[in-house]
Chain A
């Protein structure tokens, strides 16, 4: 292992570029939402659904977002109960 002193700068080292990554994600999310928006006007896209609720506007997007945030928040709460020292069992 060597010390990273005068090594080359990487693209991600610049905080501005991290913002760019964030905005790219936003754009990608907007793009994949387009089909649902179009389907509001009955253009182009026909989802093959198994359950009625899959037709809810942006069902998958919202489900993904809500589940993810919910999972992380619940896990954070659980940490208060479950977390112990690293050498707890030793």
Chain B
């Protein structure tokens, strides 16, 4: 392999082979590429490669350090998992764009400079939208458009930030930036859009649930975690991120409780999990950054697992609305078990991935004496237990029997879910293996009696609360509905405003056209009066008169120039 090739390129170049393969060859190709990329990461080891000077900018195509490596590793694993899950799909476009998308996310993680980062950043946006459009529905088309506008805007803002940053510092190396002024502010905003900061988040809940069954699984793993990685690289210890992250852990859970589309519930819950990571970046201590990286790793596993199980339900039953589902444990028991493993993992039960990762961030907040942030995150942890830990499995597989009887999920989907479930539990039981990959010296001990017992108390009493609310019929029923979120502002009033402005422009334009028409008509009329048939300037005259006029003009010119030429020419 080419020395120092960015592992992302393996998937991107490999994608070019997709259109010319089919059947088993394509399946082998899809599964081999992520493995090759992962091998490339570990054969290269740590270091930097691919230095070029381009228009006076130092490009560094490949940079592998521990922080990039853990994100790159989990991206490769997620690619492998996503490709197993999508093996049954017979859609060349989806396979092609999925590889480009995953490859560019991996490429971005290993980018050593911001120009390379920017190129991959935009490529993830453009390639991923096809996974949404691949649903081939009107809703998906519109949601994809909104998604693309927001994603590309993030890229444009990033580019603006990079240019200003280059003017200030003369460097485009992608290292610690810190929030210092306009340039870094723009870069932070660009990262914040993709990290789904509060009020910048709706693209995710809007678009992810409209993507294809397999598309949502793939989308959920990369874009937002890439953004978390860039935040952890460029803005560790930026104080403003702590309240932003804390708000992110809380704001989405209310919507997750109300939402009926279970893939949208998971998108809200994904948003809430990102909140913990943003808090970790904001705290910025070694423990907190370790926690963020570990949480991103574990999170990709359990969140993919949850999306995969809901995708399998959608694939088999044709709906993913909680109000229509129920009792599926009878026909999809294996999927149910995997879903519950994912649910317990996201809720951070002991012996699961969430338990050994989230606690690091919680602990880092406590070390910094941040009581309020700590309490907010603990509240959000009880909330996670509701929407992802209980609601998703309960209303799909239990609750009232909807009477839906279907086959178990296809074999490839079960394999992919098994792969994720293996990691969810593996990380929980052997946290040491994950901790070895962390960017800093792992010092945290997750399995203390106190931590296990307090976690169980929090979670089991949350379960009890659910059981009580169900028993006394207080728990809100699942209803077919749309719940207004912040995107209402741009989907209703802003749209209305845009249309009103459009109408105003039309009125002004018509008025302008009217005036222009009047002017043209008046010119034509005037011309007609002077040059029209039989009018003064249109009269014919005899040729002798014409010759007379020409001679007179010629005479005048000769006399005039004779007089003029008498004088010396100005030099």
A interface residues, Cβ below 8 angstroms from B: 1-4, 7, 10, 12-13, 21-22, 25-26, 28-29, 32-33, 35-36, 45-51, 54, 58, 60-65, 67-69, 71-76, 78-79, 81-90
How far does the alpha carbon of A86 sit from the alpha carbon of B483 in the complex, in Å?
Answer: 8
With contacts A25-B464, A71-B253 known, is A64 near B457, CB below 8 A? yes
Instruction: From A3, A47, A61, A71, give the contact of B458 (CB < 8 A).
Output: A61
Are the CB atoms of B481 and A68 closer together than 8 Å? no
CB of A27 to closest CB in B, whole Å: 10
B interface residues, Cβ below 8 angstroms from A: 139, 253-254, 257-258, 260, 317, 329-330, 363, 366-367, 371, 374, 378-379, 382-383, 385-386, 398, 401, 403-406, 448-450, 453-469, 471, 474-476, 479-485, 491
With contacts A25-B463, A64-B382, A64-B459 known, is A82 near B483, CB below 8 A? yes
Instruction: From B374, B398, B454, B460, give the contact of A28 (CB < 8 A).
Output: B460
Q: Which residue of B lies closest to A1 (CB)?
A: B405
* Residue numbers in A under 8 Å from B457 (CB-CB): 32-33, 36, 58, 60-61, 64
What are 16 A-B contacts with C-beta separation under 8 Å? A4-B405, A28-B463, A47-B450, A48-B450, A60-B454, A63-B378, A64-B460, A67-B462, A68-B382, A68-B385, A68-B461, A85-B482, A86-B481, A88-B484, A89-B482, A89-B491
Are the CB atoms of B386 and A72 closer together than 8 Å? yes
CB of B270 to closest CB in A, whole Å: 18
* Residue numbers in B under 8 Å from A72 (CB-CB): 257, 386, 465, 469, 474-476
* Residue numbers in B under 8 Å from A13 (CB-CB): 401
With contacts A4-B403, A50-B366 known, is A74 near B254, CB below 8 A? yes
Instruction: From A48, A54, A68, give the contact of B462 (CB < 8 A).
Output: A68
List 7 additional contacts besides A69-B468, A85-B481; criterion CB under 8 Å: A29-B463, A64-B382, A75-B254, A81-B484, A83-B484, A84-B484, A87-B482
CB of B429 to closest CB in A, whole Å: 20
CB of A38 to closest CB in B, whole Å: 11
CB of B368 to closest CB in A, whole Å: 10
* Residue numbers in A under 8 Å from B465 (CB-CB): 64-65, 68-69, 72
With contacts A4-B405, A68-B382 known, is A75 near B476, CB below 8 A? yes
Are the CB atoms of A29 and B460 closer together than 8 Å? yes
With contacts A78-B258, A83-B481 known, is A68 near B466, CB below 8 A? yes
With contacts A33-B457, A64-B457 known, is A83 near B258, CB below 8 A? yes
CB of A78 to closest CB in B, whole Å: 6
With contacts A10-B330, A75-B476, A89-B491 known, is A82 near B258, CB below 8 A? yes
How far does the alpha carbon of A63 sit from the alpha carbon of B465 in the complex, in Å?
Answer: 11
How far does the alpha carbon of A9 sit from the alpha carbon of B479 in the complex, in Å?
Answer: 28
* Residue numbers in B under 8 Å from A90 (CB-CB): 139
Q: Which residue of B lies closest to A48 (CB)?
A: B450
How far does the alpha carbon of A62 sit from the alpha carbon of B386 in the complex, in Å?
Answer: 16
How far does the alpha carbon of A10 sit from the alpha carbon of B383 in the complex, in Å?
Answer: 30
Max chain A CB contacts within 10 Å: which of B330, B363, B406? Answer: B330
* Residue numbers in A under 8 Å from B454 (CB-CB): 47, 54, 60
How far does the alpha carbon of A72 sit from the alpha carbon of B464 in the complex, in Å?
Answer: 13
* Residue numbers in A under 8 Å from B253 (CB-CB): 71
Top-6 shortest CB links A-B: A50-B366, A68-B465, A64-B461, A64-B458, A60-B457, A75-B257
How far does the alpha carbon of A84 sit from the alpha carbon of B404 in the complex, in Å?
Answer: 27
Instruction: From B139, B367, B484, give the contact of A82 (CB < 8 A).
Output: B484
CB of A54 to closest CB in B, whole Å: 8
* Residue numbers in B under 8 Å from A32 (CB-CB): 453, 456-457, 460
* Residue numbers in A under 8 Å from B258 (CB-CB): 75, 78-79, 82-83
How far does the alpha carbon of A69 sit from the alpha carbon of B469 in the complex, in Å?
Answer: 8
Are the CB atoms of B469 and A51 closer together than 8 Å? no
Are the CB atoms of B476 and A51 closer together than 8 Å? no
CB of A72 to closest CB in B, whole Å: 6
* Residue numbers in B under 8 Å from A89 (CB-CB): 482, 491
How far does the alpha carbon of A61 sit from the alpha carbon of B454 in the complex, in Å?
Answer: 8
